[in-house]
Amino acid sequence: MSTKIWEAYRLKKDYDLWEVTTDLRHRAERNIKRSLAKLYQALVEDAKKQPKDRVWFPHEQDLSNFSIMRAHDHVLKAYRANFGLRERDTFDFDVSITIRRTLRGKRYLLIPYPGSSGITGNALHFMRKHEALEDYHFQDQSDQPDNISSREWHERGRTWAPLLEDSRWRDIFLIEVLSVSNFWTVSPAYDMMLKSMNRKAK
């Protein structure tokens, strides 16, 4: 069986796993909130248009009271509808990071799972340049990249191989950045609603 770890990172020495993973989650959540805020605002603006001109709600008639909170509810319903489906769509928002420990050297390896949505899919891109992480991807069906020595590439293969065995693949810590169950804690809808109310009160 071939190994295809398309994107993975190793925690650099002298960095604390707890501090780094906490930072990763906070930064990812901020990225997601910005993306969802833009989506909510786009839904609200779309609802104001005539049905024939709408992108998101072409078949809805009365959207006169459409609000940020209704946008939140609409997105959450669509997100839930993705659960368990083989083919995901725009609302495939699951974002997580798995952490494994190597058998030799006791180093930590992280794999980002950003989901397939174009809305939240960029939430973890910052990991590529994070000061505490170094690239540690590996595929055994291709030659090593030009910037990686043959010795280091084969060392990665020896590191990943035992971790991919059926008895160990599920031995992970999971950082659940965004899921259906924690959507309320990450969604910016409540903060957006408060800001809108404060503007109207002035």
**Ramachandran sector of residue 115 (left: φ over 0; alpha: ψ -120 to 50; beta: rest):** left
pLDDT surpassing 90 at residue 38: yes
pLDDT surpassing 60 at residue 1: no
Q: Which residues of 149-178 are buried (b: 16+ CB within 10 A; e: fewer)?
A: eeeebeebeebbeebeeeeeeeebeebebb
pLDDT surpassing 90 at residue 79: yes
Strand partners, 10: 109, 134
Exposed/middle/buried for residue 193 (C-beta within 10 Å: 0-12, 13-18, 19+): middle
Which among 192, 2, 24 is positioned nearest to 110, based on CA atoms?
A: 24
The predicted-structure confidence for 22-33, as pLDDT tens digits, reads as follows 999 999 999 999
Mean pLDDT for the stretch of residues 27-52: 93
Torsion 81-87-89-93 (CA) sign: positive
Q: Name the band, by pLDDT with cuts 50, 70 and 90, for residue 202.
A: low
What is the Cα–Cα distance from 65 to 111, expressed in whole angstroms?
42
Tell me the two tokens of residue 193.
Answer: 């609603």
Q: Name the band, by pLDDT with cuts 50, 70 and 90, for residue 140.
A: confident
* Out of 32-36, 53-57, 108-112, 182-186, least confident range: 53-57
What is the Cα–Cα distance from 88 to 96, expressed in whole angstroms?
16
pLDDT surpassing 70 at residue 200: no
The predicted-structure confidence for 87-111, as pLDDT tens digits, reads as follows 767 888 999 999 999 998 899 999 9
Q: Name the band, by pLDDT with cuts 50, 70 and 90, for residue 201.
A: low
pTM, two decimal places? 0.89
pLDDT at residue 136, as a whole number: 96
